[in-house]
Structure 1
């Protein structure tokens, strides 16, 4: 039986008052871990396999995705899970609604973004798991129809304010690059790397096709699944093929000043992280406690003898179930590690030794990518007190002005 907090149950849930374990209906929940899934299959592995029933408590939150209206929690509320819906808008809307909900306190929570992805055969394989330091919004650029792009272009994409692919952007929107806590990434990798990962005959067979490309370049592609440290790309467009994949790999390298390694492709992560950056500014979350884990469901480019179309439509299922399986295998190891070592390691937090945050420097510190912090390394302060001032209007970065040593929003025109 599931408990339901402050709302009506779903059709498959028998609701009961949230009074177990001495907790009233209005109690604020402060989970140690929040698992963030993007769609049903990514969520279902946790509901079906987690030893502690992740559907013991259901909390409906206004503003969550219509298909996923509840936050799921264990009976002791130490671990919770939310499903955002797929692509960037759904992710941003869901996480915004959740963090601003008065039902939760996320100030000490570890956010575990946990989903399947496309995988770069240079760094991982079907069923392989990656934990990221950088997440890059690779498609936030100018785009040409490839049939109409200049003949000397290697990609239909070029960065804003530039005249050709491969040039550094002249300006940013602020969400293009996110950097996470490397020390935390390394710590949770020690848990995940001890997980026993599954494999399948279908994945083994399809991986073998990549041996013909070159044993050095794509050795990771035809090896067994493992847990690696490399980075994730975000694009609303579900792309495939060597040309786009190589273009976005180059973008990742360029925008992270040569540090990032493009290995997983997804549709949500920069949106989720942008919300968490903004909420960290307000003191509602701790951005040093964010983890991004992705598992390879399909390769981002085809092997020899297979067209991108065939790769997408005929062979795209070889790693799907396997990626879900290993997403859970690695993910539960991380969850168990955080909960088990809470008092000795995680309650106090793991101090970041690298910059964490967005490309603007919205959080304190100097980004080791981009053109430097817009705040001089200080980070932005909470904006809640400014929201209702009639002359404080957001106009984008081109209108931010410096006044008396502080970054302030400009006056209105009236």
Structure 2
């Protein structure tokens, strides 16, 4: 049997790189900031989730990252920033690539996943910052077109191993649907940021005024604790919002509270928990912050089709900025007391 010379050469090169970095001092990373998308260039134009960390956060030393969607950036304080690329598959691949990168020691690193998301108007307002205690996968399920479901069903999404919506599985399923986060760490991050004043704008106020049947949606932006569902599909509408609330309770328990949607976190958490198995990362050091750029369902009198593609107020920038600023508060606290937090997790005394 003949082997492709390019494959053999690549394999040998990878082996040599791994041995080189195993013998040398790796870069000790104190925290990894995980963003998911960038609007255009990484600097100098309209900012997406990544750009503010590079420009304002001064995490501005680029590092080539050929297996990722974008270059990494690092600073002298030991903070590494990355942009996974949008969607579950990009997030999973990018996080796994970083976790396996022999240049970095990530074993004591805190992971700050900070980005925008949709918000349930029953719970949150535009710009609201939501720290998650539970991340749930919204892709792993059976699906029937809503036009073909039994009349007594509200929606056509069924748990794997179940026979109807909102039913616990009695047959086969998978074990990567629900990820619980370190609650002490989440509570600590919330306490640090709960009084943060999110920027409020005229466009945000005008948009939320349409939600006059939803008291929380009409509030000025605030900070809270609530849980998030990740899926590759950008779903929308009242019926699917009802599904999301049911789905969260079904997989994370009745004490959970669905508040935000995202398109990456289930992939990110899957990869991080795989890496945790071998000690490459510590899954107890993960934080997930989603700031609300849009609502996950329309107001009364508007259709889901309208709401799905409606422009975000101010292009969602107040939420992007809030993710950076709230995340920075937590990041600064970790770095300021690194002599403690390198070994002892915040909130561990609870």
The alignment's TM-score, normalised by the length of structure 2, stands at: 0.87
Query: How far apart, in 2, do the equivalents of 1:274 and 1:173 lie?
Result: 12
Instruction: Output one character per residue of 1:346-371: Cα deviation in whole Å (capped at 9) or x when no partner.
Output: 542247689xxxxxxxxxxxxxxxxx
Instruction: Output one character per residue of 1:106-140: Cα deviation in whole Å (capped at 9) or x when no partner.
Output: 01000001110000112211100000000011231
Partner of 1:192: 193
Partner of 1:33: 31
Instruction: Output one character per residue of 1:202-252: Cα deviation in whole Å (capped at 9) or x when no partner.
Output: 1111111112x2xxxx32211011110010001100011000011111110
Partner of 1:59: 63
Alignment of 1:126-141 (within 5 A): 126-141=126-141
Query: How far apart, in 1, do the equivalents of 2:148 and 2:349 lie?
Result: 45
Partner of 1:240: 236
Partner of 2:227: 231
Conservation of the 8 A alpha-carbon contact between 1:276 and 1:287: yes
Q: Any idea what SS the aligned residue of 2:191 has?
A: helix
Q: Which moved more, 1:114-123 or 1:344-353?
A: 344-353
Query: How far apart, in 2, do the equivalents of 1:33 and 1:123 lie?
Result: 30
Q: Which moved more, 1:161-170 or 1:291-300?
A: 161-170
Partner of 2:250: 254
Conservation of the 8 A alpha-carbon contact between 2:187 and 2:347: no
Query: How far apart, in 2, do the equivalents of 1:28 and 1:97 lie?
Result: 16
Instruction: Output one character per residue of 1:52-94: Cα deviation in whole Å (capped at 9) or x when no partner.
Output: x211x222134112xx1x21011x1421101101111101111
5+ residue gaps, structure 2: 1-23, 39-47
1:44 aligns to 2:48 (yes or no): no
Alignment of 1:205-220 (within 5 A): 205-211=206-212, 213=213, 218-220=214-216
Alignment of 1:6-17 (within 5 A): none
5+ residue gaps, structure 1: 1-25, 355-414
Partner of 1:292: 288
Conservation of the 8 A alpha-carbon contact between 1:124 and 1:263: yes
Partner of 1:145: 145
Task: Compare relative contact order (CA 8 Å, sep 6+) and give the higher one, 1 or 2.
Answer: 2
Instruction: Output one character per residue of 1:260-318: Cα deviation in whole Å (capped at 9) or x when no partner.
Output: 11001001111111111111110111111000000001000011111111112234445
Query: How far apart, in 2, do the equivalents of 1:351 and 1:293 lie?
Result: 17
1:172 aligns to 2:173 (yes or no): yes
Q: CA deviation at 1:151?
A: 1.3
Partner of 2:21: none
Conservation of the 8 A alpha-carbon contact between 2:207 and 2:313: no
Q: Any idea what SS the aligned residue of 1:169 has?
A: coil
Conservation of the 8 A alpha-carbon contact between 2:114 and 2:290: yes
Structure number with greater Rg is: 1
Conservation of the 8 A alpha-carbon contact between 2:132 and 2:287: yes
1:79 aligns to 2:92 (yes or no): no
Instruction: Output one character per residue of 1:130-162: Cα deviation in whole Å (capped at 9) or x when no partner.
Output: 000000112311001111111111111011122
Instruction: Output one character per residue of 1:371-403: Cα deviation in whole Å (capped at 9) or x when no partner.
Output: xxxxxxxxxxxxxxxxxxxxxxxxxxxxxxxxx
Count of residue correspondences: 317
The CA RMSD over aligned residues, in Å, is: 1.7
Q: CA deviation at 1:321?
A: 1.2
Conservation of the 8 A alpha-carbon contact between 1:133 and 1:182: yes
The alignment's TM-score, normalised by the length of structure 1, stands at: 0.74
Relative distance call for 1:346 and 1:304 in structure 2 (3 A) is farther
